[in-house]
Amino acid sequence: MNCEQFVEQVTAFLDGVMDPAAERRFVDHLAECDGCGTYLDQVRATVRTLGDLPPENLPPEARESLLAAFRRTDV
Q: Would you tell me which residues interact with other proteins (CB under 8 A)?
A: 2-5, 7-8, 10-12, 15, 17, 33-36, 38-39, 41-59, 62-63, 65-67, 69-71, 73-75
State the nearest-atom distance from the C-beta of 73 to other proteins, in Å.
6
CA dihedral 32, 34, 39, 42 (to 10 degrees): 130
State the nearest-atom distance from the C-beta of 55 to other proteins, in Å.
4
State the nearest-atom distance from the C-beta of 66 to other proteins, in Å.
5
